[in-house]
Amino acid sequence: MPHLSFEYSPDLDTRIDMQAFAALLRDAMVETGLFPLGGIRVRGLRCAVVEIADGAEAYGFIDMVLRIGEGRSPQQRAMAAEQVYAAAETFLRARLGALPFMLSLEIREIVTEFSIRRYSTVHAAVSARAGA
């Protein structure tokens, strides 16, 4: 499991291909070498209501949260954060130019004891596709 969710300001719908952004984030997570392909999830959530700074409509944001399972060292978590953030930053800088914008990423480690995941057939489906 790594699940990356990002919330974004509605103005970005006309500036960014959000499906391409999600695919880029997935690829960046794969490239870390830390996460099983079948566990990766990326979700983008457009915020319908936003107020930023002084209320000007020109401000944009993407706030990313990467939830991961236990077992990775602080160095591994820092490396994953840097790789995912750098990929997002490079993608966005090329498309947003001088637009007033904020990008953030937080990694949260999930405590196994309090996480229930009994029903999932995605890992098996990914393995089957890889073997085909």
Q: What pLDDT, on a 0 to 100 scale, did the predictor assign at position 85?
A: 98
Averaged pLDDT for residues 4-16? 96
pLDDT at 33: 96
CA distance 97 to 113: 44
Give the CATH number, domain containing residue 113: 3.30.429.10
The range of the structural domain enclosing residue 108 comes to: 2-131
CA 24, 26, 31: angle at the middle one, nearest 5? 95
Mean pLDDT across the chain? 92
Higher-pLDDT residue of 131, 20:
20
Q: What is the pTM of this model?
A: 0.86
- Alpha carbons 63 and 59: distance in angstroms, whole number: 13
pLDDT of residue 132: 67
23 Cβ contact partners less than 8 Å away, ≥ 6 residues apart: 42
**Poorest-confidence range of 2-11, 33-42, 50-59?**
50-59
Query: Per-residue confidence at 4, pLDDT binned at 50, 70, 90?
Result: very high
* CB contact set of 124 (below 8 Å; sequence gap of 6+): 38
- Statement: residue 114 has pLDDT above 90: no
Residue 78 CB partners (closer than 8 Å, separation 6+): none
Name the domain count of the chain.
1
C-beta separation of 8 from 50 below 8 A: no
